[in-house]
Amino acid sequence: MVSSLRLHSLTSLFSSPSLLRPPLLLCRAHRHKLSSPPPRTAAFSSQTASASTTENPKKQTNQDQKVITPRSQDFNAWYLDIIANAELADYGPVRGTMVIRPYGYAIWEAIQDYLNVKFKETGHSNMYFPQFIPYSFIEKEASHVEGFSPELALVTIGGGKELEEKLVVRPTSETIVNHMFTQWIHSYRDLPLMVNQWANVTRWEMRTKPFVRTLEFLWQEGHTAHANPEEAENEALQMIDVYTKFAYEQAAIPVITGRKSKVETFAGADRTYTIEAMMGDRKALQAGTSHNLGQNFSRAFGTQFMDENGERQHVWQTSWAVSTRFVGGIIMTHGDDSGLMLPPKIAPIQVVIVPIWKKEDEKSGVLNAASSVKEALQSAGIKVKLDDTDQKTPGWKFNFWEMKGVPLRIEIGPRDVSSGSVVISRRDVPGKQGKVFGISMEPAILEAYIKDKLDEIQSSLLGRAISFRDSNIVDVSSYDELKEAISLGKWARGPWSASDADEQRVKEETGASIRCFPFEQPQGTKTCLMTGKPAEEVAIFAKSY
């Protein structure tokens, strides 16, 4: 219910500056393609998208709808077109910054709502650390400063005066967290200390891309301290597992979970666990990480406790994060040429109702029926939107809501009102195949049908993504095979026990890096693809964002 209220005001954002025009009744068989995609050019639109021609130009086409660049033609342009046209985000005035618009933010809220509950269930409390960190803190942990110093934004003036010590705008909070932990942790009884914060962070990135890599982004960062290394390791594993479940069950993204190579480990961590997602262009997206920090920060900051034997020890720590990058991952996993495609469990709107009428005397009957359907679904906990504006044609609305990725569409026309039934279309199955006629309007029947369909779509999106992923991972046993797989745009999986220098060489020569040593390992003895020496694990290599 809340969602639908939230989205109420979006309607005003959607309405376009074009003049009022009389609604058209479109023959159900064709109307789908009569008008073409979204409303107006926005900052992210690629050049190709600004052309005003459509695939299927007809008189009835609304002039304000733009085409999305086909995904196969230019993946990056397609991505930017979706973000602009679905009104997910816009560029901010400072280079590399991003404004997250209501529809994009609602997806982030769905991510937050799920994870926030899971974090609390696993014993973490939310809190808030200041974002300004004394510059000297960053220098305390050697590899941390090396990793982050090129990316820092520094405050040097405050209240009109030059500051004595420069302040870092947090790129991550391990340092300030440890500074505070030293004040709160005294004995083993103060452990484990398990907290999380939802916050903005700043990294001065040179090459930015909306959601995927921006100068400022939103995330959650969990920070924990433990009395022994086993507990810290279990915590790091527990949290990567929470992320994995979220990816599979909510975002329908079949990530591959594993451990980062030493080269790719977080600056200051002993071990980094990661979830790696395959995007529609087969590049990898690191979608979440969980770090076992060992005693690196606790030694640098002196975060100690008295153990049960009365001896002082440094705490063992973890940190873990998921960010607004995940929204980019959802777009690039499920979207197609018609636009965004959202998994029902994180869709801000799960069902859109489009009423259709030709004559003025049909209007009220159709709208009444549409309202009743809306209320019935809403009270069943389904996130539903009734698009009852008469400024747009039904065909325009079909394309618009498809472009916004709404999983299900209900169409209600005069004949449907007479027969007490509706027509239902699936976003994930195009054309007639995804369309079912004559579903009863009777609330109990319709609700059950819709819930069932939403579940089906959720599974179907995951299934499709799994097939795509699996058909694009190649098992390799030599460097040549690896190079070939990468050159075909695929992921290469092969046994690896070579050096950091070899790993670096692969990156330079192929553009692919080790995404992870996956938790799921094949059976049997393994021989390193590079050195021919025994290997304990396979690694996955891919080009990445």
**Shortest Cβ distance from residue 15 to a second copy (Å)?**
4
Helix, strand or coil, per DSSP, at residue 421: strand
Helix, strand or coil, per DSSP, at residue 342: coil
361 binds a second copy (CB under 8 A): no
Please state the three-class secondary structure of 292-339 as a single string: EEECHHHHHHCCEEECCCCCEEECEEEEEEEECHHHHHHHHHHCECCE
Work out the widest C-alpha separation in the chain, in whole angstroms: 85
**What is the CB-side half-sphere exposure of residue 216 using CA atoms within 13 A?**
15
Nearer to a second copy, 71 or 140 (CB): 140
494 DSSP β-pair partners: 539
Q: Residues 116-145: x/- map of binding to a second copy (CB under 8 A)?
A: -x--xx-xxxxxxxxxxxx--x--------
Nearer to a second copy, 5 or 501 (CB): 5
Task: Please name which of 350, 362, 375, 355 lies closest in space to residue 423, comparing C-alpha atoms.
Answer: 355
C-beta separation of 496 from 529 below 8 A: yes
- Site residues (CB under 8 A) for a second copy, limited to 199-258: 199-200, 202, 204, 206, 215-216, 218
Amino acid, res. 44 = F
Q: Residues 298-327: x/- map of binding to a second copy (CB under 8 A)?
A: --------x---------------------
Question: How many binding residues for a second copy (CB under 8 A)?
Answer: 85
Q: Could you give the CA distance from residue 481 to residue 180 in angstroms, rounded to a whole number?
A: 50
**Shortest Cβ distance from residue 365 to a second copy (Å)?**
26
424-451: burial string, b at 16+ Cβ within 10 Å, e else? bbbbbeeeeeebeeebebeeeebbebbb
379 binds a second copy (CB under 8 A): no
Q: Which of 21, 56, 73, 154 binds a second copy (CB under 8 A)?
A: 154
Nearer to a second copy, 184 or 437 (CB): 184
Nearer to a second copy, 327 or 412 (CB): 327
Nearer to a second copy, 215 or 269 (CB): 215
50 binds a second copy (CB under 8 A): no
Select from 163-171, 355-363, 443-451, 523-531 the region that touches a second copy (CB under 8 A).
163-171
Question: Residues 191, 196, 200, 205: is their CA dihedral positive or negative?
Answer: positive
**Shortest Cβ distance from residue 333 to a second copy (Å)?**
22
22 binds a second copy (CB under 8 A): no
Q: Could you give the CA distance from residue 74 to residue 230 in angstroms, rounded to a whole number?
A: 47
Nearer to a second copy, 124 or 334 (CB): 124
Nearer to a second copy, 105 or 401 (CB): 105
Q: What is the residue whose two structure tokens read 């959601």? A: 211
43 binds a second copy (CB under 8 A): yes
Nearer to a second copy, 216 or 402 (CB): 216
147 binds a second copy (CB under 8 A): no
Select from 25-33, 150-158, 455-463, 528-536 the region that touches a second copy (CB under 8 A).
150-158
Amino acid, res. 203 = R
**Shortest Cβ distance from residue 157 to a second copy (Å)?**
4
2 binds a second copy (CB under 8 A): yes
Task: Please name which of 357, 363, 391 lies closest in space to residue 14, comparing C-alpha atoms.
Answer: 391
